């Protein structure tokens, strides 16, 4: 009888813990993250995870990561940047060369040339319009055309 009570108590604690660990305001996205092996999986998931804020599950075969996060506390971009800083290129960021070089040999994947932001470069705030330019200072100059 005592054994049954202990088992029930343990099950209740596990159930409470599982329910308590859920992410509020959850948003889920699937993105490409490059890597090769179980060690990559461990690092990618660890770097992307933040308690009660984000969780990452990476599939070694498809190279796809399912990112679940609290949309009021973080963004998928922030999570992907953390993953890139640990050495793994993804859809948004290229890992810094030194972080990639520090990966074990089994984790070094074939890097593809991408037009993405390096994770260690500062983000530039670009304006869509040209309202900050002085268009009156511009002159119409005709350049010589080759003949």
- What pLDDT was estimated at residue 67? 96
- What pLDDT was estimated at residue 52? 85
Q: Please, what sign has the CA dihedral across residues 141, 142, 146, 147? A: negative
pLDDT tens, residue order, the chain (147 aa): 777 766 766 666 666 555 445 788 899 999 999 999 999 999 999 999 998 899 999 999 999 999 999 999 999 999 999 999 999 999 999 999 999 999 999 999 988 766 666 666 655 443 444 455 455 555 554 555 555
- What pLDDT was estimated at residue 7? 73
Distances (CA, A) of 58 to 77, 121, 128: 16, 25, 35
């Amino acid at each position: 009888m005592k054994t049954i009570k202990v088992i029930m108590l343990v099950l209740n604690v596990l159930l409470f813990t599982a329910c308590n660990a859920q992410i509020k305001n959850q948003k889920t996205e699937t993105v490409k993250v490059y890597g090769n092996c179980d060690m990559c999986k461990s690092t990618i998931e660890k770097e992307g995870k933040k308690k009660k804020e984000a969780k990452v599950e990476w599939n070694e075969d498809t190279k796809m990561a399912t990112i679940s996060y609290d949309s009021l506390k973080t963004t998928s971009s922030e999570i992907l940047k953390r993953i890139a800083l640990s050495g793994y290129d993804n859809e948004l960021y290229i890992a810094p060369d030194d972080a990639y070089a520090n990966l074990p040999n089994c984790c070094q994947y074939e890097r593809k040339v991408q037009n993405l932001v390096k994770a260690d470069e500062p983000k530039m705030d670009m304006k869509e319009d040209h309202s900050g330019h002085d268009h009156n200072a511009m002159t119409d100059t005709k350049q010589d055309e080759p003949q």
